[in-house]
Amino acid sequence: MYKTPSKQLSFEDFNQPLGLQMDPNNRWIKKAEFIPWNLVEKKYKKLFKGFKGQVAKPAR
C-alpha cells in the first residue's frame, strides 16, 4: 500500500538541531533539485497496488 505524501519539505524549511543551516550550494541539494520527483513518485506508486498491509515509505 502506498500513500502519496501531502507536501515535501524544501531544504529551507527543514529545521535542524542547534540552529544549523543547510548549504544551498551542497552537491546533494543541487542533485535533488535536478531529479523529477513527481515522475519518480508516480512510477514508484505503481509498484504498490494493494490496499492492505504496511504503508510504503515515500520515494524521496
Cα R_g (the chain), whole angstroms:
15
Average pLDDT over residues 24-44: 86
Question: What dihedral do alpha carbons 32, 26, 16, 4 form, nearest 10°?
Answer: 0
3-state helix, strand, coil in the chain (%, to 5): 35, 0, 65
What's the pLDDT tens digit per position in 47-57? 877 777 777 77
Residue found by looking up cell 494493494 in the block:
50
Task: Give the pTM.
Answer: 0.57
